[in-house]
Structure formats: C-alpha cells, structure tokens
Amino acid sequence: MTETANPNKALWEKGDFTRIAETMRESGEALVASLGVGEGLDVLDVGCGDGTTALPAAQLGADVLGVDIASNLVAAGNARAQGLGLGNCRFQEGDASDLSALEDDSFDLVVSIFGAMFAPRPFEVAKELVRVTRPGGRIVMGNWIPNDPTLVAQILKISSAYSPPPPEGFVSPMTWGVEDDVTERFTAAGVPDENISFERDTYTFNYPGPPSELLGEFKSYYGPTMNAFEAAGADGREADLEAELGTLFDEQNSNGDTTSIPATFLRVSVNLI
C-alpha cells in the first residue's frame, strides 16, 4: 500500500533548502547568540532545516534536537553535526503539528525559525510547542509577515500569485506573522496573553554573487518558488514571474556585485509558567 502523499512534506523535499540556508548562516548564529543559550540547556529546533540555528546552539553547549518534516534536510543536518564533531546535536524527522514522538515538558527552549509556520493546523502547532516545553521554559518563533515589503514576504506573495489557489480550508503560513492570530493560537494552548510578546527582527541573506544568481538558487532549490515557476510555465507566464522576482531581488540588494538583502520578520517569544 502506498502512503498518502503529504503536500507539506513534498514541498520541502522537492528542492534543496540547504542551498538557501547557506546564505542565512550569519543571521542564524546572531539569533542564537541573542537567546542566552548555554551548557545544560535542552533545546528543540522545530522545522530546523539543516541546522542554521540548531548547530550554533549546540556549539554554545546546549543539548539540541532538530525536528524537520523533510528527510533530506534531516540527513543534511546530521551530516553537518557529525562533520563538526557535535555529539550534542541530532536531527530526526517529525511534524510540527504532531510531535507525538516527544514527551511532555522535555525542553527548556523551543525554537522555530521560519519552520513551524509552514506546518498545517496552526492551533495544533501551538499546542504541541507548548506541550513539549517545560514550565519556566520559552518558545521563540521567527515568522515572515504578510504584506511586509522586504524579501521573503514578497517572494512568497509573488509566488502565490502565480500558483494555483490552495485547497479549501488551507490556512496561510503567513498568518503566523499576524500578532492577533499568534496570540489566539497560544492562548488556546493555555498561555496567558501577557506571556506572549512580539518584536520585529531582521535576517540578512548573504550571497557571493549578484542578486540574479541568488534568485536562480530560489528558482532551482526553494520549494515554494519552484512550484510557482512550474505553475507559471504551465500558464505561459514564466517570463513574467522571472521579471517580477528579478526586479524584487535587484531593488532589495544594497551590495553592488554581491548580494546582501535584509528581510524583516516577526519574532515571537512565549514564556511558560
């Protein structure tokens, strides 16, 4: 019997997110450095990719588990941890909306940077993040913001305009960038709203070539952009999509022949009592 296809898993296994993650390493390290991670802390990284935040947390001495729905990224994360000799960092497959392989109250810090936002069933996601976090622990999410004018929100907006409409009942991942929606999800999971706080933060995408080459990486390796190009191709609109994204990447870059593009996100902190 064949397994029912999981479109969420297929989207992220389709490309090779490690190619994009390479451009995000410095921001991942800076974010982890801001979290007060150290020896003895149990950290869970949900939607961890190949370890942009999990590995720096382990390098600071934490015991880190990375969970991701994409088996290729789990393998890449484990290979990177092994390459760095980090015995305190491992990666396994799992779904942010059902972390049943993990016990209640297991982690001091649960991080999800542009990860859990892509899982279906956001109320289940909030419930699961809270369930696996110890009392006194903390959840930190990084979420792209709908209609934000910077890079990633715009890539996702433009990509979705060229993609077929989502199935009925689909909740946009971008709703995780709306403070009221995030509050509703975590309060439904039992967190008092005064324990949920928000700030704007920035990730910078650094690439050694021009912005057109970085766009090429998204076109070839980033699931949502790959799907948009496929759909646009089927409609004879591939050149329009390429032009629209090309303008976006060029306009956002401030670095001449190489690429350095900042992107704004919503940083969510949830303190558990």
Ligand X SMILES: C[S@@+](CC[C@H](N)C(=O)[O-])C[C@H]1O[C@@H](n2cnc3c(N)ncnc32)[C@H](O)[C@@H]1O
Contacts with ligand X by CB under 6 A lie at 8, 12, 17, 21, 24, 28, 46-49, 52-53, 68-70, 73, 95-97, 113-115, 118-119
Whose Cβ is closer to ligand X: residue 121's or residue 237's?
121
Q: Give the shortest CB-193-to-ligand X separation in angstroms.
A: 25
Quote the Cα angle for 180-222-43, to 5°: 55
Residue placing its CB nearer to ligand X in the complex, 12 or 162: 12
**Nearest distance from residue 236's CB to ligand X, in Å?**
29
Nearer of residues 44 and 96 to ligand X, judged by Cβ: 96
| Start-end of H helices in the chain | 7-14, 18-21, 25-33, 54-59, 71-83, 122-132, 151-162, 179-188, 211-221, 223-234, 238-252
Angle at 146 between CA 141 and CA 150, to 5 degrees: 90
Q: What is the smallest separation between the CB atom of 6 and ligand X, expressed in angstroms? A: 8
Whole-number Å distance between alpha carbons of 85 and 259: 31
Nearest distance, CB of residue 225 and ligand X, angstroms: 11
In the complex with ligand X, the residue whose CB is nearer, 71 or 197, is 71
Q: Which of 18, 32, 125, 150 has the alpha carbon at shortest distance from 75?
A: 18
What are phi and psi for residue 107, nearest 5 degrees? -130, 145
Closest residue to ligand X, based on beta-carbon distance: 49
Question: Is 101 or 243 the residue whose CB approaches ligand X more closely?
Answer: 101
Q: How far is the CB of 151 from ligand X (least distance, A)?
A: 12
Helices (H), 34-120: 54-59, 71-83
